[in-house]
Structure 1
Amino acid sequence: MSVAMETFGFFMAALGLLMLGVTLPHSYWRVSTVHGNVITTNTIFENLWFSCATDSMGVYNCREFPSLLALSGYIQACRALMITAIFLGFLGLFLGMVGLRCVNIGSMERSRKAKLAAAAGALHILAGFCGMVAISWYAFNITQEFFDPVYAGTKLPYEASAVRSPGLTDRLRPAASDEGDSTFGKYGKNAYV
């Protein structure tokens, strides 16, 4: 393998680690929004460590999750997987830097550098797998909770205006029953997660 290919792989691994590092503290892992008039617009956003609510004026209130043991299992696992991914990525980055042929540290022979580079690559693959599993599992649970009719977490209820035309209601009722969804009309189109 050429030195240019090794260097390109090293920088791509560093970019992947940077992306994991940016994703972990990002506030918008889960977002739920209801748009009404200026006063009733509300947004709830969460990540692995806290939950915040903001209104249309930009005022927000955040709370940290109170206890590790009070969290659901998948959030605990996602936290552990993301931290493990970043740890493995840093370890792989260090080993990859030492294993590059263009870096001379002492009098290390080429076969040992190749083994270090291979170990660094394996660590980066494991880090990417841990990050991918954590993010995919979290997204799966968001989707599953959203479509669960008894879950009342970050779904914000949407209530249509109280003034309705009887003729309009009669025309729309068959369309709602065709869908077969008992929750039709309970949430606005902007309340999706």
Structure 2
Amino acid sequence: MLQEIVGFIVSTSGWVLVSSTLPTDYWKVSSLDGTVITTATYWSNLWKACVTDSTGVSNCKDFPSLLALDGFIQACRGLMIAAICLGFFGSIFALVGMKCTKIGGTDKVKANIACFAGVNFILSGLCSLSACSLYAHRITSEFFDPMYIAQKYELGAALFIGWAGSVLCIIGGSVLCFSIADSCSKSRSQVKYIYRGAPSHSHISSHPRGQATSVNQRLPPDYSSPPGSQHFDKNAYV
């Protein structure tokens, strides 16, 4: 139960960070490398491009067309939305499948639900990790390209938040999956131990009557012989 609670807290925290990354403004910020006087700062995210002048006034422009966008921006949008949806369903399934909650059915059903929640969190972390890495790769490739003469950008704060949230989602989902595996292995070992340790209560004696036998293998006295001819040993109960 403690492992499930820790995994739920870690993975949910990562999902919150991933969700906050999507509307964050600073996915990329204009680079100051090689400039002496800066009159404007350019920055953009997955939805708009903005410029801030030296007086602090910002002007933004939303991306007008979805089909006219670059392919990597469309891919990042889809991956981030998928990551948020997977994390949302993973948090609900984790609440239902944890042992500390009273809903979800039997322990076996709750274990399957919690394992499914862990898989959702892992997939959510992988999707957001892929989106942030793809966006960062585009920025770094343009920055280090000597033939690229347009405005160069640097990594924004949103990418680092997304990477941190992705790692937390993957770690929390893995903890949920491993906690279910440990509980299943412990329950199987307990059942196996009980089965092997059960004593046998039925013994049939094959020793002659005159030989010494154990208490469980002692034969009852023969009441079919005439009275007076019965012989009871000292261990017999009358």
TM-score bucket (shorter structure): 0.7 to 0.9
Instruction: Please state if 1:134 is matched with 2:131.
Output: yes
Instruction: Please state if 1:12 is matched with 2:10.
Output: yes
TM-score (norm 1): 0.74
Q: Is the 8 A contact 1:28 1:46 kept in 2?
A: yes
Per chain length, whose mean CA-contact separation is higher, i.e. which structure has more relative contact order (CA < 8 Å, sep 6+)? 2
Any stretches of 5+ residues in structure 1 without a counterpart? 156-190
Q: Percent identity?
A: 48
Distance 1:125 1:192, change over 3 A: closer
Q: Paired residue for 1:53, among 47, 51, 54? A: 51
Output aligned runs, 1:80-159, within 5 Å: 80-105=78-103, 108-155=105-152
**Which amino acid in the other structure matches residue 59 of structure 1?**
V
Q: Work out the CA distance in 1 between the residues paired with 2:123 and 2:107.
A: 24
- Report deviation, 1:192: 5.3
Q: Is the 8 A contact 1:53 1:62 kept in 2?
A: yes
> May I ask how many residue pairs the two structures share in their alignment?
153
Task: After superposition, give the CA deviation of every residue in 1:132-175 in whole Å (9 maximum; x if it has no partner).
Answer: 000001000111122234434432xxxxxxxxxxxxxxxxxxxx
**Which amino acid in the other structure matches residue 98 of structure 1?**
V
Give 3-state SS (helix, strand or coil) of 2:41's partner.
Answer: strand
Q: Is the 8 A contact 2:15 2:87 kept in 1?
A: yes
Q: Is the 8 A contact 1:26 1:47 kept in 2?
A: yes
- Report deviation, 1:23: 1.0
Name the structure 1 match of 2:216.
Answer: none
Name the structure 2 match of 1:166.
Answer: none
Name the structure 1 match of 2:158.
Answer: none
Give 3-state SS (helix, strand or coil) of 2:96's partner.
Answer: helix
Name the structure 2 match of 1:172.
Answer: none
Distance 1:154 1:26, change over 3 A: farther
Q: Is the 8 A contact 1:33 1:42 kept in 2?
A: no
Q: Work out the CA distance in 1 between the residues paired with 2:132 and 2:91.
A: 21
Instruction: Work out which of the two has the higher radius of gyration on C-alpha atoms and give 1 or 2.
Output: 2
**Which amino acid in the other structure matches residue 110 of structure 1?**
D
Task: After superposition, give the CA deviation of every residue in 1:97-145 in whole Å (9 maximum; x if it has no partner).
Answer: 1001111126x10000000000000000000000000000100011112
Distance 1:87 1:153, change over 3 A: farther
Output aligned runs, 1:74-85, within 5 Å: 74-85=72-83
Q: Work out the CA distance in 1 between the residues paired with 2:151 and 2:13.
A: 32
Task: After superposition, give the CA deviation of every residue in 1:36-71 in whole Å (9 maximum; x if it has no partner).
Answer: 44xx43210111111110012101110011111111
